[in-house]
Amino acid sequence: MREYDFVVVGSGIAGLSFALKAAKHGSVAVITKRKGDDSNTAWAQGGIACVTSSEDSFDLHLRDTVEAGAGLCDEATVRTIVTEGPERIRELTEFGLLFDEREVAGQREPDLGREGGHSKRRVLHVQDVTGLEIEKTLLRELERCAQVELLENHMAVDLITAGKLGFAAEDRCLGVYVLDDRTSEVETIRTDRLVLATGGCGKVYLYTTNPDIATGDGVAMAWRAGATIANMEFIQFHPTCLFHAEAKSFLISEAVRGEGGILRNSRGENFMRRYHPQQSLAPRDIVARAIDAEIKRSGAKCVYLDITHKPPEFLRERFPHIFETCLRFGIDMTKQPIPVVPAAHYQCGGIKTDVNGATSLPGLYAIGEVGCTGLHGANRLASNSLLEGLVVAHRACEALVREQPPTHPARVIPLPEWQPGDVQDVDELVVIYHNWGEIRRLMWDYVGIVRTAKRLQRASARLRNLQREIREFYWNFRVTVDLLELRNLATVAALIVDSALSRKESRGLHFTLDHPEVEDRHFKRDTLLSRT
């Protein structure tokens, strides 16, 4: 059995930031199921929203965030994260991250981008590969830190809690079982300060901008351990994913619209004029529904993002990654509009936490996309996610050091080793792949941008059957990464559907034809799910 003062599951901006800070207070393990740079963060293009300009203010950033969140943001949390952002950005730059700059009146200043829902330019970026540069910067720092052990190709299976072990005292997190994918052995890792930073669940949908690792692992594990889950009905669909038969999950950053890109339908019309005063820069929930409506109305397969009116040299310099990727698929964005469709992008709900990342289960924290702090409400404001990861990681470390010293009495509770039971190797992988495909298809068809009660009920019934099949498979066969991801996908899909069925109104990212209006009297509140 390994033992660490801190264990963090996930290697994106939140997990790595936490690990670097926690290393000053003890031993740290970072568990990641693939390589260190396999994270949602590495795929983030747009940047980090942060007040750095004299033309901007914390109050404006707060107002934009709350307006996008459709009445469900926790304003105290929003203010904390917005106001603490600049200091966390400064720490990133001290690690060597260089955000893009421009020269104004002989002075260098940040080259700020603008995205949907923002009233000012406030998005710091590194061309259109901001997340990748952040990931590389943090991993470089991690390599220099002797107190941190990076466990690649290790996948967390389940949390170990006092309650599961039958102790009558206060339930709390005691550690985690982890599958070493290289040896197929499950290890016991002990800690009473465990942090989930596993990102979101985009792969629960057929079409997503997320990488393959985004299978909802953290939410599923926390749910099985008894932690409270919040607002899982609010899944953000990014309006502009590249539409091409050979392109897999490639995002066209909202920054393209921020620099003047116009959404047009198959007839070349700027259709967003009919939907919102901010047109193509309206909040994401509005733009995604508008595109969905245009596609269904016209029968077209996609809409188009047109930025051909901008100088070619500007586009190649500002969006080199997008330009080269589109060109590889035969699309020259300097001369022709980019075909785009919405795709599942971001989980606005998650494990319910406070602004420090503390969950309802003592000893367990959740930071980044996996947690639900109240920042995003019913719809995330563009580029607030990386900011939240930085700020909450910092606060979580401070809180854990302050509130849970390493001499906690829970350390005397004995932890059992993993018991595989009488199992056999998986002999029919087709069962896993079929169930995986069925979950993703039914979620796309029944629990997408626009919903109905009948579709949600059908999804719920089928998911219950799938969960029974997967549970039987789980207990009879040796665990693998594929099987664990399938198990987690089914759990998270069911949580999304249950949450959506309980919200009988339309708010933010949850739009149902059966209840198309906002209903504050009963539903201006979080949707909370708990097994206890």
Question: Which residues are known catalytic residues?
Answer: 284
Three-state SS for 91-130 is HHHHCCCCCCEEEECCEEEECCECCCCCCCCCEECCCCCH
What is the secondary structure of 10-23 as a DSSP string? Answer: --SHHHHHHHHHHT
Residue with tokens 């589109």: 326
Residue with tokens 């710091």: 124
Q: Which two tokens stand for residue 361?
A: 């289960």
Angle between helices 453-476 and 481-502 (to 10 degrees): 150
CB of 291 closer than 8 Å to CB of 265: no
Q: CA distances (Å), 126 to each of 48, 99, 190, 372, 391, in order?
A: 10, 5, 38, 27, 20
**Residues 8, 90: Cα–Cα separation, whole Å:** 23
**Residues 63, 182: Cα–Cα separation, whole Å:** 48
**Residues 190, 88: Cα–Cα separation, whole Å:** 30
**Residues 473, 423: Cα–Cα separation, whole Å:** 10
Cβ neighbors of 358 (< 8 A, separation 6 or more) are 365, 396, 399
**Residues 247, 308: Cα–Cα separation, whole Å:** 21
Q: CA distances (Å), 19 to each of 15, 65, 406, in order?
A: 6, 28, 16
Query: 144 burial class (0-12, 13-18, 19+ CB within 10 angstroms)?
Result: exposed
Q: In what order do the strands lie in the sheet with 185-190?
A: 2-3, 185-190, 173-180, 154-161
**Residues 418, 231: Cα–Cα separation, whole Å:** 32
Residue with tokens 């896993």: 432
**Residues 163, 293: Cα–Cα separation, whole Å:** 48
CB of 352 closer than 8 Å to CB of 526: yes
CB of 22 closer than 8 Å to CB of 400: yes
Strands 2-3 and 194-196: unpaired
Closest CA to 12 of 42, 44, 49, 47: 42
**Residues 404, 345: Cα–Cα separation, whole Å:** 35
CB of 382 closer than 8 Å to CB of 115: yes
Say whether 230 sits in a helix, a strand or coil. Answer: strand
Residue with tokens 């759990």: 491
